[in-house]
Every structure is written in C-alpha cells, then in structure tokens.
Amino acid sequence: MNSHTFHPSVLREYDVRGIVDETLSVKDAYALGQAYGTTIARNGGSKVCVGYDGRLSSPDLSSALMDGIISTGIDVKCIGLGGTPMLYYSVFALDTDGGVMVTGSHNPPNYNGFKMMVGKKPCFGEAIQKLGALTKASDYETGRGAVENVDVFDEYIDRLIRDVNMKGFKVAWDPANGSSGPAVAAMVKRLPGEHIVINAEVDGTFPNHHADPTVEANLQQLKDVVLSEGCDVGLSFDGDGDRIGAVDSRGNVVWGDQMLAIMSGDLLKEVPGAPIIADVKASQVLFDRIAELGGKPVMWKTGHSLIKDKMVELSAPLAGEMSGHIFYKHKFYGHDDALYAGIRFLNAISSQGGNLDALMDDLPKAINTPELRFDCEETRKFEVVKEVRSQLEAAGANMSTVDGVRVLTDDGWWLLRASNTQAVLVARCEASTDEGLARLKKELVQALAAVGVDAPDSF
C-alpha cells in the first residue's frame, strides 16, 4: 500500500478542511476513508453514516471517502444530501459506530472538508492527527464493506418538531442556499404561525450571499424580508446548518450570546440550577444573566468539539458559542443543530412573553468590539498569548486563563487567544461605556506591544 501525506493545512483541530484541487483532493478523501474506517474497526465498530452538503465538489469527495471506508471492512449507511445535524442525528437514530459529514461548513464555495464522529462523540484534536499518521504509515485494516443508501429525512423532521411548544409567530427563514434548505422548508410547514423561507434551494455557488450568519452583511437580505413583511423574528443558517443567526422585528442582530441568554431564561425554568456553558468570547451579560436566573454559568474554550466534551463532563443541558453553535442536551442529543436551536429559541420567546424585541430590550446593554482577528505566524501565535499571560500574572491582573487570557477590569473585559484553526490571534473587548471601551483597547494594545506585537489599525 502507498503512503499518503495530507497537505499540512488540512488536518485541523476540529475537522479536516481545505481548498478543493489545491490542498484537498479525492485522493485525500479516499485515504481519509481508509484511516477513518481503520479507526472504527479497531474500536470494535462495524458501520458508520456518511452525508454530504450541497457544494459542487461534495458528491465526488463523499464517493471517494465511502470507497476508502468500505475497503477497511466497515459498512456505510449513506444518508445523502443534507445538513451536518442530519448526519449527527442519523448516527443516533441508526445507532452506528460513527459518522462523517462531507462539508465546507461556512467557508467559500471552493472549500470542502469532513466533520467526523467516532462512536457518538466528536473526532477532533489528537484523534485527527492520528488519522494522518495512519495514512502516512499505510497502516490500514482491509475487508469488504458495503454502501447502503438510507433515507432519514422524514424521521429527522419528525424529531425536530417533537419539542415544539410555541405561539404562532411570523418568521422569516434563510438557509442561505446551504444544504439545510430542504429541511427548513419541510419543517416550517409543520410549525404554528406564518413562515417565509428564502434561499431554500441548495446551490453550492451560494449565489445570494455568503453562508455565514455571524457576519452582519450576510444577514441583510433576511433583515429586508423581516422589515418588509412585518415578521416577529428572522432566523438564518450557515452552509451546513449547524450554526444559527437571528434578527428581531426591528432588524437588529441577535448575537449568539444574546440568543443563549434568552434560551437560558426558558431552560432554567425546566432545569433549575443547571450549568450552562458558553465560550470565552461571550458577553459578561450572558454569564451574569445565567447566574441571576439561578443557573451555573461556565466559561469554556472556544470550539464546538471542546464544548461538546465539556457538556458531557458537566452533564450540562445547554451550551453555546458566539459563532452561533448552540448545543441542546435537554430533550436532544447534545450536538449543534441550528434548526433545532431555532425551534427552541422560538419556544423560549413564547415562554417569556412572546416578544423578542422586549426580551432584547431587557438585556443589559454592553458596548463591545466584534471579534478582531489579525495575522500571526502559526509557530508564534500560542507563544504570544503565553508571553502576554506571564506579563499579566506578574502585574497581578484579574483574569481567566481557560482559553488564552480574558482580563477583567472595572471597565469590563478584554480577550486575547490564539485561533486553533488559522494563523491568527483573536481579540475582543467589552465595556459599559465608550470611554471604558477605549481604555480596554489601549490596555490590549499595550499588552501586545510589550511582547513585540503591533496591534492592527482597526484597534
């Protein structure tokens, strides 16, 4: 057997992802299938699910992946085109030993990749690096598996609507021409109220706007529909349906941590005192609100796989990230399904008066920067954060070091962390006043300068 080496940029912290025909090819997909199938076999497994998104390259990549998997003696249940959450659901519903989703997530159309589960848990970090080691060593199991096409679409929609408990809202939905479009269109037919769905057609060129709901410009079309049609709320999804964005009836963005604050108000009525997890980029408003509601706020590392693991450790019923990944273990499976999160968000609005605008107005106002990302060499980014942390410790700063450094001051907080997936540093600041925000930004710039890093002009 031939040794296979992946491009150094594609084996990432949470998934495998690259630029099609530049850093990622069908040969990579086949080799990954061999390594993944081998891992499943050596774990005592015999069958896995595979699904793919609507990108133009996804059918070929998924075909090569499945060929690689069955060459190791593992059987494949192919669920076909759909969102990543439908693949996650299928692993539970069909009780398989893992699953792989072929998806480029929220990246541009020329990207693609693979999100994986081993057993019922995410495959990430060291486990992904081990797949690379298997391909390099050509250390594969061999056998004769088979591919079976399995349609789980209707069952998946049934499962999504099982927990509906909402009033009849007027809602605009934007799947952004991603692979969750058909599921959104089918789901809303079974919800109370009036629903307008735009961009439901799966189109791997993403002709209307980029499929990333965390960038406000990508929500403009949704805002226009909400305002012109007099909707109560608008919901948007990324390219593979595992991240959610929202706007209220005034066209204001409801960010991921604000959604989580509203969801917490509903959940903590049913599960008093429960731990609720959010990543280090989330607003202090969220952590304070969870505590006010009697819950246990838990700040944790950014990254959907890391959050899922922490949920299992703490038996947390709900978690979320600023990036729009929302995880429900309460009544669900603990993975990030943006369609299910949309239903639970509408439930939460219903149970707390039925008016999203009023719930938003009730949240304390904070002034914050967007997520500021700036280039830093891969070999240097973690060292920069370590050096900044050492200086702050020497100065006796009040900070959390769960993921990078999050420094608390009388003005608010600032964050500096290294991205796990790109050669960038990530920063964010939040204060209660404009003057306070300016002071926090200055502190951050000075902390970077002290270790020889120039902050970008956007600071």
The residues carrying an active-site annotation are 105
* Residues in a beta bridge with 101: 51, 115
**Which are the contacts of 158, defined by CB distance < 8 A and separation ≥ 6?**
none
Question: What are the b/e assignments for 206-216, b being 16+ CB within 10 Å?
Answer: beebbbbbbee
Question: What are the b/e assignments for 295-307, b being 16+ CB within 10 Å?
Answer: bebbbbbbbbbbb
* Contact call for residues 104 and 17 (beta carbons, < 8 A): yes
Q: What share of the chain is helix, strand, coil (3-state, %, to 5)?
A: 35, 25, 40
* Contact call for residues 102 and 82 (beta carbons, < 8 A): no
* Contact call for residues 319 and 267 (beta carbons, < 8 A): no
Instruction: Identify residue 414 by its one-letter amino acid code.
Output: W
- Rounded to whole angstroms, the Cα distance separating 129 from 12 reads 8
Q: From residue 401, how far is each of 280, 282, 393, 407, 416 by CA, in Å?
A: 9, 15, 10, 9, 10
- Rounded to whole angstroms, the Cα distance separating 430 from 416 reads 12
Instruction: Identify residue 98 by its one-letter amino acid code.
Output: G
- Rounded to whole angstroms, the Cα distance separating 355 from 250 reads 12
- Rounded to whole angstroms, the Cα distance separating 324 from 239 reads 12
- Rounded to whole angstroms, the Cα distance separating 302 from 338 reads 17
Q: Where are the beta strands (DSSP E) in 251-354?
A: 253-254, 275-279, 296-300, 318-320, 326-328
